Structure formats: C-alpha cells, structure tokens
Amino acid sequence: MSIRVRFAPSPTGYLHVGGARTALFNWLYARHEGGKFLLRIEDTDKERSSEEHTRVILDGLTWLGLDWDEALVFQGARIKRHQETADKLLAEGKAYLDDGAIRLTVPPGEIAWDDAVHGRISFQGADIKDFVILRSDRTPLYNLAVVVDDLDMQITHVLRGDDHISNTPKQIALYRALGGGAALPVFGHVPMINGPDGKKLSKRHGATAVGDYQHMGILPAAMRNFLALLGWSPGGDREIMTREEMVRLFSFAGIQQKSAIFDMTKLEWMNGQYLSATSAEELYPLVAPQLAQLGLNGRKDAVLRAIAAVKTRSRTTLDVAKQVAVRLDTRFVQLDEKGAKEIAKDPAGYKASLEASLAVLRRVDWTPETLEQHLRGLAEQRGVAAGKVFQPIRIALTGGTVSEPVNELLYVVGKEAALKRLESAISGSIPG
Ligand code: GLU
C-alpha cells in the first residue's frame, strides 16, 4: 500500500503553530514511509477564507521546509462532487431531506476505530444524532467535504489534532454509508498544544503564528525541530535532530497522548544551538535585513566577522543583529545595569585599568593573537588576574559584561573605533 497523507488547513487565518505541527507530523510520516504528502486548502467558507491566508500558509510551510507532492487541492472547487455525493446518499435512502437540507441517518451500533495515537476509541451510533451534510443552499458541511475529498485523494492516514476526535465517528458513519468501508483511512489524533499554564495555546501566551517566529529571528531548522518535539519523541532524551534524522526516526508510536507544552525558553535555547552550528556566511542573508532595519549598513566582511563572534551567545537572529550593531557602530553602545554596577564598584580602578590598556593597545598589531598576548602581559605586569584587565575593556566597548573573548571583541570592533571607545570611557562620556 502506498501511504498518502494530507494537511488540510482552512485559509481563515495565519499558519498557527498547532497547524504547522500537524503538517510536520504528516510530512515526517510520508517521508519516512516513502509516501505522498498532499495539501488541501479547505476554503469552503468563502466569507472567512482568503487568498492572502492561503499564501501565508504556503509560505510558512515552505519556510519550514515542508514540501508537498502533487497539485494543491482547493476544496471550494470540488463542491459539485460534495453535492453529487449528498444527492446519491439521499437517493439511496441513507440520508433524508430536512427543511431543504440533507441529513445523514446515523444507524445505531458501535462506531469505533483503532486510533494510531490513542488506541481504540469507541462511540455509539445512537449517541450521534443524524447530522446535516448539505445545507438547503446546497453548500456542503465540513464532515461531508472532508470524507469525499479524502476518498477521492485516496488518503490512507488521517493525522490531525485531538480537537477532531468528535468528528471522526460522523466521518466513519459517512464512509460506511458510502460503502467505502474498505477505504476507511487510519485515524490518528495528535495532542493539543498548551501554554506553560496548561491552558490551550493562545495569543495570551505570546506569538502563535509561524510567521511571527520567522520575523523574530528563529531559524526554520530550529522551529521545525522544536515543533517536532511538541507531542513526539524519538525515545531517550534526544532533542537536536536534523530533518533527515527526524524522518528516519519518526513513528506513530513516538507520539504522546497527553497534551504538549509550548515552552518559549526552550525554543530560544534550541535556536541558540542552531545559531552556533550555522556559519556566519549562511546567517548573513538573515541578519543583514535586520541590521538595515536597525539603521546600519555595515561592510559585508566586517558584518561576517561580527556575526561569527556573537552567534554562539545569541538566541535569535535579531539578537545577533543587535550585537553586531553594537560592535560596528558606536551609536548602539549603551551601558546596561550590570555594566554600570561593575563600574560603580571602583570607578577610579576602572579608569586606571582602561588607561593602562589603552597605552598598550595603541601600539600593538591588531590581530586576535597579539591582542590576547599583550593584554595578558599587561595583567601579569600589574599583578592582577587577566579578567581584571579584560572586563573594563568589555564594558567600555559594549556597555555590558558578557561578550566573546575580549581579544576577539577588540578585533571585531576594529582598532580605530576600539581606541575611541576606550578614550570616551576614560573621559566618562561613553558608555553612559
Ligand atoms: N480544515 C480542517 C481544520 O483546519 C481540517 C481537519 C482535518 O484534517 O480533517 O481543522
């Protein structure tokens, strides 16, 4: 049997992280099995659907690296098929007219399925009321459209959110009525995504649109990896995985039944891991537009050097851009709270240390190696730990107390600018 799965978003809004996660699980399953991943745009609600939303959803999937097979299916273009199917059920006596609408008869008896995630789920037909499949204006309802489309698209596995569990018995009743029992897909319902407070993820918890994470400087590979772990685990404590590794390891057995928690701190941590592992050259096209937005158009070689220096200490590409800006343009240097506290401990010592460093730095060859060598030499000469020499320089150059090693920082800032920043710090004007 060749596996065919689908992601079926309604283009009534942006691509929600929950939708993206559902798409990812379907994609991983298709790629793992060598099957097909199809996309169906469920645009039957003409009022709320828009081409703009469809475009944003497709852009989001493309950004995440989730490529789809075959042509896009637009549900709205298939209404005739939905109508014909409802008429057929009516003609066969499996549905009836109710005030102009067509309603499916749900026979009593058990309606059950072996859910790929939850195991056996069972409903009683008697508890499910006969339901409308075609309105009196001849527009189809969700359950009818989905079943007709899934049958025509020869979908073998329907993997979707837990919120659809209550639709599944209705859809099975439709499959039975259509005599498509043999074609019944495997259903699997993936856990919902909650915020850290355990409540359904919503805007209250922060950004819920995939596009927002893109703009905030999350890398697509990190987002994909993070989303994969929302409800799925490859076993053990394995977390950082390439797309290929996830494809190899993915299985329904690894999907949890309990809801997943969206933890922003973890996403930022994971993004930091990916930033560290990505070259400055690859990050450049992502960072450059953010620099331009900050009002800085640095030379590419200088920007690359700065990216390489800061990327391991960043959580987002925006974070990278801000730190690059501090290094390449004095206007962005601002004394932060920790920097100010450090200076306040011993303002005279701070100045004296910078003066001694400045005297040395004026005459050294500006390479990371010689800078390190001379500053360590200075510390030895003054009989202090190297950090005592490094920290004032770090504060004078960046305004903060955390950075790459000071010799690299000096190198990235450049001789002329670095000397000026030190002079300003000594005279007490910058940073402050
Ligand atoms: N359009 C439906 C949704 O967005 C699709 C549900 C399904 O996968 O059957 O929830």
What digits encode the pLDDT tens for the residues 133-188?
A: 999 999 999 999 999 999 999 999 999 999 999 999 999 999 999 986 568 999 99
- 125, 106 Cβ separation under 8 angstroms: yes
Measured CA to CA, the distance from residue 58 to residue 38 in angstroms comes to 12
In the chain, the amino acid numbered 359 is: A
Pairwise CA distance, residues 223 & 330, whole Å = 33
Is 203 among the residues known to form the active site? Answer: yes
The 3-state secondary structure of 95-119 reads: EEEECCEEEECCCCCEEEEEECCCE
Q: Does ligand 1 lie within 6 Å of residue 146's CB atom?
A: yes
Give me the catalytic one of 36, 129, 170, 203: 203
Is there an atom of ligand 1 within 6 Å of 160 CB?
yes
147 lines ligand 1 (CB under 6 A): no
- Stated pTM of the model: 0.92
Q: Which atom of ligand 1 is nearest to the CA of 150?
A: 9
Residue 432 confidence (pLDDT): 41
Mean local confidence (pLDDT), 233-248: 94
Asked if residue 268 has its Cβ within 6 Å of ligand 1, the reply is no
| Residues contacting 192, CB < 8 A, separation 6+ | 18, 161, 162, 163, 200, 201, 259, 260
Task: State the closest ligand 1 atom to the C-alpha of 19, by its place in the atom list counted from 1.
Answer: 4
Which ligand 1 atom is at minimum distance from the Cα of 167?
A: 9
Residue 333 φ then ψ, to 5° = -80, 125
Q: State residue 48's pLDDT score.
A: 92
| Cβ of residue 39 lying under 6 Å from some atom of ligand 1 | no
Beta-carbon contacts of 290 under 8 Å, excluding residues fewer than 6 positions away, are 217, 317, 318, 320, 321
Residues near 177 by beta carbon (within 8 Å), at least 6 away in sequence: 89, 92, 94, 95, 104, 105
Distance 149 CA to ligand 1 centre (A): 12
Distance (angstroms) between ligand 1 centre and the Cα of 198 equals 23
Residue 355 has pLDDT above 50, yes or no: yes
- For residue 9, which atom of ligand 1 is closest to its CA? 4
Average pLDDT on 234-252 reads: 95
The full DSSP string for 235-255 is STT-----HHHHHHH--GGGB
For 232, phi then psi, to 5°, come to: -135, 145
CA 332 to ligand 1 center in whole angstroms: 47
Q: Which residue has the tokens 């003609």?
A: 91
Express each pLDDT in 180-216 by its tens digit: 656 899 999 999 999 999 999 988 888 899 999 999 9
CA end-to-end distance (rounded Å), the chain: 69
Which secondary structure element, helix H or strand E, spans residue 134, and what is its range? Answer: strand 131-134
Write down the pLDDT at residue 341: 97
Mean pLDDT score, 235-255? 95
pLDDT above 90 for 387: yes
Question: How high is the mean pLDDT of the chain?
Answer: 96
Residue 271 CB–ligand 1 contact under 6 Å: no
Least confident of 42-51, 70-79, 177-186: 177-186
Whose C-alpha lies nearest to ligand 1, atom 5?
8
Q: State the average pLDDT over residues 106-133.
A: 97
User: 221, 222, 207, 154: which is closest to 185 by C-alpha?
Assistant: 154
* 170-to-5, 40, 186 alpha-carbon distances in Å: 20, 20, 15
CA distance 18 to 423: 53
